[in-house]
Amino acid sequence: MVDILIIEDNLELAAILSDFLLDEGYSVFVASSGEEGLQYLAENPVKLLLLDIMLPELDGFAVCRIIRERHNLPIIIMSARHGDNNKIIGLDLGADDYLEKPFSVNLLIAKVKSHLRRSYHMFDNKQLLSEGALTIDRASMKVYLKDELIVMTSKEYELLVILMMNKGKALRKEWLFEAVWGIDSFSELSTLTVHISKLREKIENNPKEPRCIVTVWGVGYKYEAV
């Protein structure tokens, strides 16, 4: 498994980022186009993606959308496009973070470590979580409902794992938000509500009357054992 896939058409920048990440002990593969990156990801397991937006032919937003339909890995967008609108587009497409160029390499590495830690190391060693028809294989970061693969963003995945590992416990909204997004996130608490709604659409028989992820009024949410 490669730790980090970089999709960046600026080969000089890609080489610099690759060198820094290699120095940190990560394995890296660099793709210079969206098509090459998608092909590599289809054939090889990857833990995290660093994705440029201004790519030739297939741009980063399109790549992000395609990847998110198939994979749960964390995605950090790197872009010369500034402004909240571009950040919102990237996050709506399933990206987990957005860095505006030029950025500090140290900041990028810190974000890489943070996302890898939250996605792969924040839980205990139990690799398989199962409740009713829902199963989470944490080794592959895949979720199955009635043996069918359910594609989720990495944040949806993290949130579901936390809820399932604490089933029956009422978890405060603020605690859930900090556990999944972190205190350095530019997201707002309302982001949690949106992700809960999306999770319900994917795993509940009737999302409007949820039986698995239930609201605890005045507190937050809990995963109800079924």
User: pLDDT per residue over 42-91, tens digit each?
Assistant: 888 888 999 999 998 899 999 999 998 888 789 999 988 777 787 788 88
Task: Measure Cα distances from 83 to 46, 53, 79, 214, 224 in Å.
Answer: 29, 13, 10, 36, 40
Instruction: Please tell me the least confidently modeled range out of 17-21, 151-155, 188-192, 219-223.
Output: 188-192
Predicted pLDDT of residue 124: 46
Predicted pLDDT of residue 86: 76
DSSP state letters, 158-211: HHHHHHHHTTT--EEHHHHHHHHH-TT-S--THHHHHHHHHHHHHH-SSTTS-S
Q: Check residues 106 and 123 and name the one with the higher pLDDT.
A: 106
Calpha distance 189→187 (Å, rounded): 7
pLDDT mean across residues, the chain: 86
Residue range 31-38: average pLDDT? 94
Calpha distance 23→30 (Å, rounded): 15
Considering the chain, what percentage of its residues have pLDDT values greater than 90?
42
Q: Which residues contact 115 (CB under 8 A, 6 or more apart)?
A: 48, 74, 76, 96, 97, 154
Predicted pLDDT of residue 189: 78
CA 2 to chain centroid, in Å, comes to 17
Q: Which strands sit side by side in the sheet containing 220-223, from one edge to the other?
A: 171-172, 220-223, 213-216
Predicted pLDDT of residue 184: 55
